[in-house]
Amino acid sequence: MSGASRSDRFAQRSDALARAVRATDGLVGLALLGSAAEAGSVRRDEWSDHDFFAITARGAGARLRPDLTWLPEQDRLVLTAREGEIGFVAVYDDGHVFEFALSDASELADAVAGEASVVVDDESGTTAQLIEQAQARAAASDRFDPANDARLVLVKLLIGVGRSRRGERLNGNGFVRQWAPQHLVRAIRGRFAGSSTTQRDTIDPMRRFERDFPQWGGRLADLLDRPLEESARGQFLLLREVLEPGWADFPVMAADVVARRLGW
pLDDT truncated to tens, each residue of the chain (264 aa)? 555 577 789 999 999 999 999 999 999 999 999 889 998 888 888 889 999 999 999 999 999 999 999 999 999 999 999 999 999 999 999 999 999 999 999 999 889 888 899 999 999 999 999 999 998 888 776 678 999 999 999 999 999 999 999 999 999 999 999 999 999 999 999 999 777 766 666 667 877 898 889 999 999 999 999 999 999 999 999 999 999 999 999 999 999 999 999 999
Contact at 8 Å (CB) between 91 and 78?
yes
* pTM for the predicted model, two decimal places: 0.74
> Cβ–Cβ contacts within 10 Å for residue 263, how many?
8
Residue 45, exposed/middle/buried by CB under 10 A (0-12, 13-18, 19+)? exposed
Instruction: Provide the 8-state DSSP code for 217.
Output: H
Rounded CA separation 231/101 (Å): 35
E strand intervals along the chain: 27-33, 50-56, 77-83, 87-92, 97-103, 116-120
Instruction: Provide the 8-state DSSP code for 167.
Output: T
